[in-house]
Amino acid sequence: MTAGQTMPIAKALNSALREAMRADEKVLLMGEDIGPLGGVFRITEGLHAEFGDGRVLDTPLAESGIIGTAIGLAMRGYRPVIEIQFDGFVYPGFDQIVSQLAKMRARHRGAVSMPVVIRIPYGGHIGAVEHHQESPEAYFAHTAGLRVVSPSTANDAHWMLRQAIESDDPVIFLEPKAKYWTKGEVLDAPTAALHDAVVAREGTDVTLIGHGAMVHVLLQAAEIAAGEGTSCEVVDVRSLSPIDWAPLVASAQRTGRVVVAQEAPGHASVGSEIAATIAERAFYSLEAPVQRVSGFDTPFPPAQLEDVYLPDADRVLAAVDRALAH
Amino acid sequence: MTGTEPIRLLDEAGEAVVTAENEQWRAIADELSTDDRLAMHGEMLRTRRFDVEAGHLQRQGKLGLWVPSLGQEGAQVGAAWAARPQDTLFPSYREHLIALHRGVDMLQIIDIFRGAAHGGWSPTELPGMRIYSLVIATHALHATGYAMGIGLDGASGTGDASVDEAVMAFYGDGAASQGDASEGLVFAASYDAPIVFFVQNNKWAISVPSTRQSRFPLHERARGFGLEAAWVDGNDPLASFAVSRRMLDEARQGRPGYVEADTYRMGAHTTSDDPTRYRSRDEEEAWARRDPIARLAAHLRSLGVDDAALAEQEQRAADEAADMRRRTLEAPAAASDDIFDHVYADPHPLMAEQKAALAEFEASFGSDA
């Protein structure tokens, strides 16, 4: 067991898969190069050796085929956990996700469940070529029938994946791949439910809200701000659909100033939804308009420009300054 | 199995076709007694009357849309009878005979087209009969995945056809162009999945002819993916039965297959379609002479079945269609809770909030609104 150990996020995910497969023989893995290779990020390392061809399916290179056959396996009683190799490779399977997987239960008036997890390594900061650094969460968060989550720590990576696999609903599980090798302690039990938002750092002046790898940027910004006399609270959203509004709204009401940050483009995004809902629900507590920080509304640029495109602590701190200027 | 002519056991006049090449198929069709063949005819008639009456209901404004299967009953009845009780069928949206054969209530099909439900019936209530799929070929993958699951379960491949499970997925010549159709073939072959793809080439994908979908016979295409393939006269119910039976029994031993049934969509694509804009009256009349129901009726007469037995089937089909009409007109409207209640298995705050908000909004108009 992994309890109490400090390990990188990649290992925390690997141990979650192993434990879920040991606990339930209906859990099986599907994906490209996830067998003897262990996946391009080695998240499934050792699992093919332990569980064999019948539980770890190295699939043909066809994302629609992977997701579509996973739906059929779920109809048969299996609980497939799919690995999409990179964020930008999910789109060939998009129709099977949004028109089939997400709607299958409603179409059957509840008679059929779709316990399918789709793991997607996402986000930038790995210096890769096109299609390998995207943040597609808004597409999925907009789709009824899906649950969408993204851990930021090793503990959450482990326990949220266990919880996602136990869910009888389809879960889009977004893994912050730039943080795969960031270490943290994995506790012996989950400390939050799958869809809880949590306060990652307490503060009093400004609330910083984000998910996935961005949480690390927010914590860095909060540290810098503290040195300059501004106390920032950091809220890790963790779940993008549904969103656990109470901790977000409560923090906004405490501080009166909110910055929402994400790597994804800002237009019609998760950050937009968070900004709008906080404006609705914490309106009389706000001292300033909610500030949004995001990737630009452009295609993800060539890797030499990714540091310009992706919000860093300085861009977050500039937004903190704008919030404080009111 | 992929010669220059489709496999045929009855010619257009219902006369037996006896050749050296079709001997193996005749042997399989011989499993069907005269009573079986009469029952198959009854199912085709039942489906045809239901289909025509549903078309009338649409024209009278009682259904939003209807999808006729006129002309394809022969291909379908053969496949329906070929599937064994333990087999699972994944239909497209024109497989009315398949659904009725497996016990779906006519009203459950009607529910889809009167806008009361997306799915109509539950595959847990009717094991082995999945619901219709509207986005063409998407379900080819679901069927393949289900068949992969049968393989993983060890529920196929024992060599005993009476227990080994298999899957049949139904789609058409238009759907065959979709990537999902090809990916289904890739996965089925890669995992030796116990599945047969039953492709009704009805010549028209709405207004586009099958020659635009493929310059090459579809069954030949399937062979390129590594599947066994057969080409059958889909308006010959006996040939459709024999070929489907053999392919399913091969599939349940881990050899996936593909059947291209040569048939014709005698009606419109849907009630929104107008075939006079894209195909000739001559073509339609030529295919009307190959009507699978008339063909099997002629065959039954040659076996000594009297006209009274056929007339009784006609009457029963007409009565059932009339009953379907009456029940459709009396069917209740969908309830608004249905919007929210089945989206997620586990509790979901947005569903709870929005359902409550809608109830409150509706209540705000008062009971006499």
Give the Cα separation of A209 and A232 in Å (integer).
10
Reply yes or no on whether the pLDDT at A186 is more than 70: yes
Give the Cα separation of A30 and B221 in Å (integer).
27
Asked whether B67 and B289 are in contact (CB, 8 A), the reply is no
Name chain A contacts of B115, Cβ cutoff 8 Å: none
Reply yes or no on whether the pLDDT at A42 is more than 70: yes
> What's the total number of domains in chain B?
2
pLDDT mean over A241-248: 98
Q: Give CA torsion, residues B295, B298, B303, B309, to 10 deg.
A: 110
B291 and B343 together in one domain: no
Share of chain B above pLDDT 90, in %: 98
B245 and B368 together in one domain: no
Summarised one tens digit per residue, pLDDT across range B335-352 is: 999 999 999 999 999 999
Share of chain B above pLDDT 70, in %: 99
pLDDT mean over B93-121: 97
CA–chain centroid gap for A259, Å, is 19
B300 and B339 together in one domain: no
Summarised one tens digit per residue, pLDDT across range A47-76 is: 999 999 999 999 999 999 999 999 999 999
Q: What are chain A's domains?
A: 8-186 (3.40.50.970), 198-324 (3.40.50.920)
Give the Cα separation of B60 and B130 in Å (integer).
29
B341 and B319 together in one domain: no
Q: What is the pLDDT of residue A101?
A: 98
Q: Does residue B87 form part of some domain? A: yes
Residue A4: which pLDDT band, with cuts at 50, 70 and 90?
confident
Give the Cα separation of B367 and B61 in Å (integer).
28
pLDDT mean over B206-220: 93
- Taking the Cβ of residue A62 and every Cβ of chain B, the question of whether any pair is shorter than 8 Å is answered with yes
Q: What is the pLDDT of residue B52?
A: 97
B300 and B367 together in one domain: no
Beta partners for residue B230, in sequence order: B259
- Taking the Cβ of residue A26 and every Cβ of chain B, the question of whether any pair is shorter than 8 Å is answered with no
Which single residue is written with the structure tokens 């799915």? B119
Structure token pair of residue A84: 């999409």
Closest approach of chain A CAs to the CA of B146, in angstroms? 4
Structure token pair of residue A28: 């099986």
Of B124, B140, B344, the CB nearest to A111: B124
Residue of A nearest to B143 (CA): A72
Burial state string for B207-218 with b = 16 or more CB within 10 A and e = fewer than 16? eeebeebeeebb
B358 and B310 together in one domain: no
Closest approach of chain A CAs to the CA of B276, in angstroms? 32
Name chain A contacts of B349, Cβ cutoff 8 Å: 242, 245
Share of chain A above pLDDT 70, in %: 99
Q: Does residue B11 form part of some domain? A: no
Burial state string for B327-347 with b = 16 or more CB within 10 A and e = fewer than 16? ebeeeeeeeeeeebebbbbee
**Dihedral sign of CA atoms B161, B163, B164, B170 in order:** positive
B202 and B223 together in one domain: yes
Q: Does residue B40 form part of some domain? A: yes
Cβ–Cβ gap A168/B117 under 8 Å: no
Beta-carbon neighbour count of residue B57 at 10 Å?
A: 19
DSSP conformation letters of A242-301? S--HHHHHHHHHHHS-EEEEEEEESTTSHHHHHHHHHHHHSGGG-SSPPEEEEE-SSPPP
Q: Does residue B33 form part of some domain? A: yes
- Taking the Cβ of residue A107 and every Cβ of chain B, the question of whether any pair is shorter than 8 Å is answered with yes
Summarised one tens digit per residue, pLDDT across range A245-257 is: 999 999 999 999 9
Cβ–Cβ gap A242/B349 under 8 Å: yes
B155 and B297 together in one domain: yes
Cβ–Cβ gap B145/A112 under 8 Å: no
Q: Does residue B4 form part of some domain? A: no
Reply yes or no on whether the pLDDT at B369 is more than 60: no
- For residue B144, is it left (φ>0), alpha (ψ between -120 and 50) or beta? alpha
**Burial class of residue B12 in the structure, from the number of CB atoms within 10 Å of its CB (0-12 exposed, 13-18 middle, 19+ buried):** middle
Cβ–Cβ gap A99/B135 under 8 Å: yes
Cβ–Cβ gap B343/A65 under 8 Å: no
Domain hosting residue B33, numbered range? 23-330
Catalytic residue among A48, A108, A131, A132: A132
Cβ–Cβ gap B342/A106 under 8 Å: yes
Name chain B contacts of A68, Cβ cutoff 8 Å: 138, 140-142, 144-145, 180, 183-184
B315 and B356 together in one domain: no
Of B135, B140, B146, the CB nearest to A75: B146
Structure token pair of residue B231: 């080409």
The answer, yes or no, to whether the previous bond of A242 is cis (omega within 30 of 0) is: yes
Residue B4: which pLDDT band, with cuts at 50, 70 and 90?
confident
Task: Give, as one character, the DSSP assignment of residue B10.
Answer: B
B33 and B91 together in one domain: yes
Q: Does residue B10 form part of some domain? A: no
Cβ–Cβ gap B180/A65 under 8 Å: yes
Name chain B contacts of A74, Cβ cutoff 8 Å: 145
Active site residue A132: yes
Residue of A nearest to B339 (CA): A106
3-state secondary structure of B93: coil
Of B119, B152, B186, the CB nearest to A109: B119
B348 and B324 together in one domain: no
Name chain B contacts of A108, Cβ cutoff 8 Å: 119, 122-123, 131, 342
Give the Cα separation of A180 and A86 in Å (integer).
13
Q: Does residue B29 form part of some domain? A: yes
- Closest C-alpha to B74, from B313, B190, B243, B286: B243
Q: Does residue B312 form part of some domain? A: yes
Q: Say which residues have a Cβ less than 8 Å from residue B34's Cβ, sequence separation at least 6.
A: B300, B303, B304, B305
Residue B366: which pLDDT band, with cuts at 50, 70 and 90?
confident
B322 and B358 together in one domain: no
Q: How much is the pTM?
A: 0.97
Q: What is the pLDDT of residue B368?
A: 58
Structure token pair of residue B2: 């992929």
Cα A278 to Cα A249, B53, B109, B303: the distances in Å are: 6, 54, 45, 77
Residue A162: which pLDDT band, with cuts at 50, 70 and 90?
very high
Reply yes or no on whether the pLDDT at B82 is more than 70: yes
Q: What is the pLDDT of residue B2?
A: 60
- Closest C-alpha to A211, from A234, A192, A230: A234
User: What's the complex ipTM?
Assistant: 0.97
Summarised one tens digit per residue, pLDDT across range B6-25 is: 999 999 999 999 999 999 99
> Any idea what the CATH number is for the domain that residue B161 is in?
3.40.50.970
Asked whether A232 and A207 are in contact (CB, 8 A), the reply is yes
Q: Give CA torsion, residues B83, B123, B65, B209, to 10 deg.
A: -40
Q: Say which residues have a Cβ less than 8 Å from residue B57's Cβ, sequence separation at least 6.
A: B63, B66, B110, B325, B328
Beta partners for residue A103, in sequence order: none
